[in-house]
A and B are shown apart, each in its own frame.
Chain A
Amino acid sequence: MTNFFEKSDLTRSEAENIISDTLQKCDDGELYLENSKSETILLDDNKIKNSSYNSDLGFGFRAISDEVVAYSHSNEISKNSLKQSSENLKSTLKSAKGTYSYEIPKSNKKYYENINPIEQKSLNEKIKILNDVNSYLRSKGDQVKQVTANFLGEQKSIEIIRSGGETLSDVRPLIRFNVSVMLEKDGRKETGVYGVGGRQSYDSYLKDENWKSVCDEALRIASVNLESKPAPAGEMKVVLGPGWPAILIHEAVGHGLEGDFNRKKTSAFHNLMGQKVASEGVTIVDDGTIDNRRGSLTIDDEGTPTEKTVLIENGILKNFMQDRLNARLMKTKSTGSGRRENYRHIVLPRMRNTMMLSGNRTQDEMIKAVDKGIFAVSFGGGQVDITSGKFVFNCTEAYEIVNGKIGSPIKGATLIGDGPSILREVSMVGNDMMMDPGIGTCGKAGQGVPVGVAQPSILINKMTVGGTKL
């Protein structure tokens, strides 16, 4: 635990007084303190290119009156700095006449251990593994022209002090291990990327040389792409593999179900609560409570314990994801989805681990049901316009399907669809739900937060594939 007041001229009780004084006529607000330590160790082009360490300390002070949010952040935890922030908040909210809501739910559950992954493995051990990754991949043949591998480790300690002095805290570990390999054959270059991660120690992913399976997967994707031919262009059936392709769910419906866009009625879903938005058999949850997952949180960044929120149940829209502000204005409760990238940013309702649950069909059945279409196994990033509902994602491993059989691999192409209607086009839901490997970062309003996704294989009747072959 970080003692945020240890080296400050500001004592905890002085801070509490300033907080209570600033927030007295507000509806909500808090002081959010954060101390994060992170490291990057990068091997690239046969060398350790970067070994860096970052320590970040700061606070964000928030006051809310009705719909208006006043926010001020600084790196200096001092009497002056907090007082200046307080003055800023007060001047924005000079006409506030709210009643502070003291209520915040409690839970004793924890979804990760209080560890610092950076300190749990020495620099030399990490460098050795990266060098082993490089040698291992380069021993796989002359086609291997470039290898990049990195470790990202972080420990973030947060403390939330609310009006009246109630204090909530959390210590969050997070690691990621990535491998990227570029192959060249007959003048053609293709890359394959794979990674693993979550809220636990490096060793949970790296024991018994199991980093080799990460390398093998990156190499496999690159090899497939070396043989790929131009992707088709136009509307067709699409089979999505299990796991990471669930970023489709994240983009297509997840963002559109975040509370802020629905309160403001700018989401294509805002008037569809209780209505059928997906095929029967489609159930989607957003779950912050899975042990050690990248998107899991013990408490969110407002101090609310996270939960498993049912968004869509058997095709019917059930809930939006809420932070405290949007929940209050929409007369519902926070779902523990209030998140921020760090103390520099305001809280927004965000996803955690977004998952489509298993149905009862097999992937085989889906492939057999397609005359002409594509089978998408792995993706790069995605993006959505929540107002028009249109979303895209980029395939990094995909195959054509011809007459019920998987054919040649195809080049990376963008797939585009319409969020509110895509889930009605889901005609089969597989029995093979899988979590992603723990690598996702979601961007919204300039803030990146770690998230997870999961889904079984699914068959979509109609999507537009953005290839070059007409």
Chain B
Amino acid sequence: MVKDQEFLEKKASYCLDLAKKLGATESSAVVMNSVSETVNFRNKKLDESNRSDDLGISITTYIGKKRSSISSSNLINDNLNILIEKCIETTKNTPEDEFNSLPDRDLLAKEVKDLDLYDETHIENDKKIDYLKRLEAAASNDKKIVNTESSFAQNKSNFILANSEGFCDGYRTSSFTASSVTVAKDKKSMERDYEYSSKCFLKDLEDANELGKLAANQSIRKLSPKKISSEKIGIIFDKRIAKGILSTFASAIASSAISRGTSFLKDKVNQKIFSNKINVIDKPDILRGLGSRNFDSEGVKTDTLKLVDQGILKHYLIDTYNGKKLNLKSNGRCGGTSNLYFENGNISFKDLLNSSSKSLYITETIGHGSNIVTGDYSVGATGFLVENGEFKYPINEITIAGNFKDMFQNITLANDLEFKYATNSPTMMIEGMVVAGK
């Protein structure tokens, strides 16, 4: 079972005490333990079982404005002694940086709310196997499906974050994740797709049968794709792709990118960067939320932020170091966003499909084509041609390209937001992007 709070606290305070003794003026430590059990099926048979038990510690020491850090998976005190000595030695030899420091004491989280992030339930491997049998039966029902690979994972984690200012807190979290990848085949083509469900609580997990059916249908409908001609066209992003565009936005407003001047959104606070109706929220205190947290990775309290209000950028994501550099206070976003989402738009999914006579509905993108310095975007894509609100045929081997500065101004959102991941978006339409095809 996952190690308890007492064990983790003891290790953390051992490290902080030793660092102080060896000359650190300030220090912080994170100790974590995570135990996962996963079962994988392939073509309705057991394929793999995997148990992982991960321990980890990371320690940062400061001597005045000098800073260095170490991390290890070996928590035996003998090893920690060697590492902390090495860390102090490295700290002494690392040049000063005036912005190095622990978070301001008054910003540290004081109360830790119960966000209902831990489910005591332990699901035995035999029960996982039952779920996977049902899942794979549903996924391989159609004879066009030639391969299925499905997985069920249970994860239980616990951590403690402590620093020399007296902060010491942490909590347990759990997750249960089921996924299925299917391969469909016809005379002309072979296509792969997937479906997935991840929840803090076992009983919230998607039904096995539903998950399997979705995974199969999503591959089958991609069979015999066509390539279309290059043109300027409206793109509708499926929710699972639209959330990626929101993640790119989040990396472009990270204070690290802003303070280094390497983001196309630098100096854009209080400016209109999205179309009028767009609101972006980062809400850390959603009960059972996949991105929920009580404090950030430095112990700073996290409040809900309306990052974008009616199209206007209101906040960067600020940590202590980059905050001091930008002369701004940390807003508890060291380590990134929590539960980040676009608020719903005001038209239905159906009306979005109908909003132009011809558009592309994108279900998958490949490649790392987002450049946050310039805002340029160019990725490979797979999806469907939509005409008059109907899916006509699957398409692939195309790319879609644009620049986020223009794309953000041309976003229309449907009203179908769900909280399936930590970052979520309703279905999204962006006008005027360029498709390269034949």
Interface residues of A, Cβ cutoff 8 Å to B: 7, 44-45, 47-58, 67-76, 81, 85, 88, 91-92, 123-124, 127, 145-146, 182, 188-191, 231, 233-235, 264-266, 268, 344, 346, 380-385, 387-388, 390-394, 411-418, 464-470
Cβ contact of A54, chosen from B71, B76, B222, B438, cutoff 8 A: B71
Q: How would residues 351 to 383 of chain B score, 1 for a CB under 8 Å from any chain A CB and 0 otherwise?
A: 000000000000010111101011010111010
Expressed in whole angstroms, the minimum distance between the Cβ of A465 and any Cβ of chain B is: 6
Cβ contact within 8 Å between A56 and B52: no
Which residues of the partner chain A approach B260 to less than 8 Å between Cβ atoms? 44-45, 146
Which residues of the partner chain A approach B54 to less than 8 Å between Cβ atoms? 73, 75, 344
Cβ contact within 8 Å between B397 and A464: yes
Cβ contact of A414, chosen from B147, B261, B401, cutoff 8 A: B401
Cβ contact within 8 Å between A266 and B147: yes
Expressed in whole angstroms, the minimum distance between the Cβ of B329 and any Cβ of chain A is: 20
Which residues of the partner chain B approach A123 to less than 8 Å between Cβ atoms? 90, 93-94
User: Nearest residue in A to B406 (C-beta to C-beta)?
Assistant: A468
Cβ contact within 8 Å between B398 and A416: yes
Which residues of the partner chain A approach B434 to less than 8 Å between Cβ atoms? 233, 467-470
Q: How would residues 235 to 252 of chain B score, 1 for a CB under 8 Å from any chain A CB and 0 otherwise?
A: 000000000000000000
Q: How would residues 58 to 76 of chain B score, 1 for a CB under 8 Å from any chain A CB and 0 otherwise?
A: 0000000001111111111
User: Nearest residue in A to B78 (C-beta to C-beta)?
Assistant: A7
Cβ contact within 8 Å between B190 and A387: yes
How many residues on chain B are close to A (CB under 8 Å)?
78
Cβ contact within 8 Å between B437 and A470: no
Cβ contact of A383, chosen from B366, B396, B399, cutoff 8 A: B366
Expressed in whole angstroms, the minimum distance between the Cβ of B44 and any Cβ of chain A is: 12
Which residues of the partner chain B approach A381 to less than 8 Å between Cβ atoms? 367-368
Which residues of the partner chain A approach B397 to less than 8 Å between Cβ atoms? 390, 416-418, 464
Cβ contact within 8 Å between B93 and A127: yes
Expressed in whole angstroms, the minimum distance between the Cβ of B262 and any Cβ of chain A is: 6
Given A53-B83, A390-B397, A393-B367, A466–B76 Cβ distance below 8 Å? no
Which residues of the partner chain B approach A92 to less than 8 Å between Cβ atoms? 46, 49, 125
Cβ contact of B68, chosen from A51, A231, A391, A467, cutoff 8 A: A51
List 13 additional contacts besides A56-B72, A346-B48; criterion CB under 8 Å: A7-B76, A7-B78, A51-B91, A53-B87, A67-B47, A71-B48, A71-B51, A92-B125, A233-B436, A383-B367, A387-B192, A388-B191, A414-B367
B435 at the interface (CB under 8 A from A): yes
B232 at the interface (CB under 8 A from A): yes
Cβ contact within 8 Å between B376 and A191: no
Which A-B residue pairs are the 5 nearest by beta carbons? A466-B399, A233-B436, A392-B380, A392-B367, A387-B192
User: Nearest residue in A to B42 (C-beta to C-beta)?
Assistant: A264
Cβ contact within 8 Å between A55 and B52: no
Expressed in whole angstroms, the minimum distance between the Cβ of A177 and any Cβ of chain B is: 18
Cβ contact within 8 Å between B49 and A70: yes
Cβ contact within 8 Å between A468 and B94: no
Cβ contact within 8 Å between B401 and A468: yes
Which residues of the partner chain B approach A54 to less than 8 Å between Cβ atoms? 70-72
Which residues of the partner chain A approach B189 to less than 8 Å between Cβ atoms? 388
Which residues of the partner chain A approach B70 to less than 8 Å between Cβ atoms? 52-55
Cβ contact within 8 Å between A182 and B438: no
CA A464 to CA B260, docked complex, whole Å: 34
B146 at the interface (CB under 8 A from A): yes
Which residues of the partner chain A approach B436 to less than 8 Å between Cβ atoms? 233-234, 416, 464-467
User: Nearest residue in A to B51 (C-beta to C-beta)?
Assistant: A72
CA A413 to CA B399, docked complex, whole Å: 9
